[in-house]
Amino acid sequence: MGRRLKFDMPGPDWRRELGDFRETPREAFFGTPSGCLLVVEVGFGRGEFLVQQAQAHPDHVFLGIEVSWKRCLKLARRLARTEIANVRLLADPAEEVLGDGLREGEVETFWVNFPDPWPKARHARRRFVRPDTIARVARCLRPAGLLHAATDDPDYATQIHEVLAGEASLKNVHATAWVDEVPGRMPTAYELEWRAEGRRMHYFSYRRREASA
């Protein structure tokens, strides 16, 4: 029998509604002075990567997007036990947040860590990395802003490479399509499990061009 889901919030609840994100001035939404750099993680899963990044960069504000409300609740409860205050969470599809939530040129960095590969052919259209979603990501990046992506799925890696390379406003940071290691990168819990199984990792980094090509 699985553990019973706990709903009590032992401190501040950093979950927010997408409508609030659309309508609230950023300084009020994040509770920070203007000018703080915005970092977005799409699909934060267990949340350990987002928490580590927020702790390491207190001068940034972080938006975690996760379609699973249970995962969002669990991370909110974890954050409530800490003094971390520069994170806000949205339990919404990332496509909706990209569509009319995030503004053009306001994101310094996007992280897309190991999105669901949807390995069955009939489900491939559900993958997050597609030309339309990446075009939205690129639009939301500030000039010279970064998009980092990672996958352990070889087939998805090929698709990610093709989609990112095909977006004219993005430029590959690496000399190769992807790299197998990123020195200093904090691994996610799933990443550690997959590495122990011998899976190959694929890491991508793309920068928004100063002017669209």
Angle 45-31-84 from CA coordinates, rounded to 5°: 45
Over range 142-164, report the average pLDDT: 97
Q: If DSSP codes are grouped into helix, strand and coil, which group holds residue 64? A: strand
Give the domain range for residue 146: 103-213
Report helix, strand or coil for 130.
coil
The per-residue pLDDT for 122 is: 81
Report the distance separating Cα 129 and Cα 190, nearest Å: 19
Contact in structure between 204 and 182 (CB atoms under 8 Å):
no
What is the radius of gyration, based on Cα positions, of the chain? 17
Residue 169 pLDDT > 90, yes or no? yes
Would 205 be classed as within a structural domain? yes
Residue 119 pLDDT exceeds 90: no
- Please say if the pLDDT value at position 1 is more than 50: no
Whether residue 46 lies inside any domain: the answer is no
13, 59, 92, 116: the active-site residue? 116
Within a domain: 122:
yes
pLDDT of 213 over the 60 cut = no
Residue 65 forms beta bridges with which residues? 42, 90
In a domain, 110, yes or no: yes
Angle (CA) 123 129 133, round 5°: 110
Query: Which residues are paired to 141 by β-bridges?
Result: 107
Residue 59 annotated as catalytic: no
How many CA atoms within 13 Å lie on the side-chain side of 206?
A: 28
Question: What SS3 state is found at 200?
Answer: coil
- The number of folded domains in the chain is 1
The two beta strands, 202-208 and 141-151, are antiparallel
32 found inside a domain: no
Q: 2-60: per-residue pLDDT in tens?
A: 578 888 889 999 999 999 999 999 999 999 877 789 999 999 999 999 999 999 999 99
User: Which CATH number covers residue 110?
Assistant: 3.40.50.150
Residue 37 lies in a domain: no
d(CA 107, CA 88): 14
The verdict on residue 21 lying in a domain is: no
- Decide if 80 is inside a domain: no
pLDDT of residue 2: 57
Which residue reads 């406003």 in tokens? Answer: 169
